[in-house]
Amino acid sequence: METAAAVFILAALGLVGAQTVAAARFRARILGLAARLHDTPATRSLEGRLPSLVADFARRAGVEPGAGLRLASFAQDGELRLRKGGRFTRTVAWQVVALGRAGFLWDARQSLGPVQHLRVVDAYVGAEGVLEARLFGSVPVARMSGRDLALGEAFRYLAELPWAPDAILGNPELAWRVTGPDRVEVRLATQGGTARVTFRFDAAGDIVGMEASGRPARDAAGMNATLDWRGTFADYRQIGPRRLPEYGEVGYVWPGTGYEPYFRGRIRDYHVAP
């Protein structure tokens, strides 16, 4: 009995040790992706090349043309569901956004009570998409890559530009086109195709809506699909050095049932860095 107990304890310690090592390697991978974003070019002054509606939005946010910034970062408190019709789970995240070239890193955690049970990394770095989820930060449960993912992540980078106004005024990869009195489309070319997102502005000139067609996604059965995509922004206020929408929500338009959000949350602790 004592021998069996000792073997069990040693096996448990070995499992804990292996999980600790795997979690440390995952953390190192995340920090490496963030470091690669910091190595991207700084913003340039594109003020005279943008539609006035877009340039005015960025200036009102507090952006200074030609400031030479590389990154914006912020914390996020939200709710996320991983499948159509699923249950929302509280999610906290740290996000880094490249400003002079398209790129971002979203490092999110979901918990059951006091225990973190899922860590998700969603990123677009070096024109490649990364999506990986691990139980307890160590046990792989999902991992995706490839051209469709990269295109989908490019869509996300564009959709979240209201949270990165320095990129609006300083990222030369972005192409802008006015499509209506209160609508502007932004495009980003990738190896998998061109991502296109349209922003809707209110009477005050704030971005309050986002829409896109044909974003790569997974359907209700988990198969590859392209879906229409929608989002909203609200509650503009000063967060650190920028005037930003504190609240954001995004979801897909499902055939037959219509729009359903899969993420909603608020941002805080906003910073920009050269």
Q: What is the pLDDT of residue 17?
A: 46
**With 80 as the cut, is the pLDDT of residue 20 above it?**
no
Give long-range contacts, CB 8 A cutoff, 24+ apart: 219-224: 219/84, 220/83, 220/84, 220/85, 220/254, 222/83, 224/148
Q: What is the pLDDT of residue 221?
A: 80
Q: Mean per-residue pLDDT for 17-22? A: 54
Cα–Cα distance for residue pair 159/175, rounded to 1 Å: 14
Q: Mean per-residue pLDDT for 48-66? A: 94
Alpha carbon dihedral 46, 49, 51, 54, in 10-degree steps, equals: -10
The single residue listed with the structure tokens 């070096």 is: 126
Q: Mean per-residue pLDDT for 58-70? A: 94
User: At 169, is the secondary structure helix, strand, or coil?
Assistant: helix
How many secondary structure helices (H) and strands (E) does the chain include? Answer: 4, 13
pTM > 0.85? yes
pLDDT tens digits for range 214-229 = 999 888 887 888 999 9
Q: Which of 179, 249, 258, 243 is nearest to 210 (CA)?
A: 249
Q: Give the CA diameter of the chain.
A: 79
186 band by pLDDT with thresholds 50, 70 and 90: very high
22 band by pLDDT with thresholds 50, 70 and 90: low
Q: Do the Cβ atoms of 268 and 235 come closer than 8 Å?
A: no
**With 70 as the cut, is the pLDDT of residue 68 above it?**
yes
113 band by pLDDT with thresholds 50, 70 and 90: low
CA pseudo-torsion sign 99, 102, 105, 106: positive
134 band by pLDDT with thresholds 50, 70 and 90: confident
30 band by pLDDT with thresholds 50, 70 and 90: confident
83 band by pLDDT with thresholds 50, 70 and 90: confident
Least confident range from 71-75, 84-88, 90-94, 181-185: namely 84-88
Q: What is the pLDDT of residue 102?
A: 97
**With 70 as the cut, is the pLDDT of residue 19 above it?**
no
Q: What is the pLDDT of residue 15?
A: 37
The single residue listed with the structure tokens 């990394």 is: 121
Q: What is the pLDDT of residue 11?
A: 38
Q: What is the pLDDT of residue 66?
A: 84
- Copy the structure tokens of residue 66: 């030609």
24 band by pLDDT with thresholds 50, 70 and 90: confident
Supply the mean pLDDT for the chain. Answer: 88
Q: Mean per-residue pLDDT for 19-39? A: 79
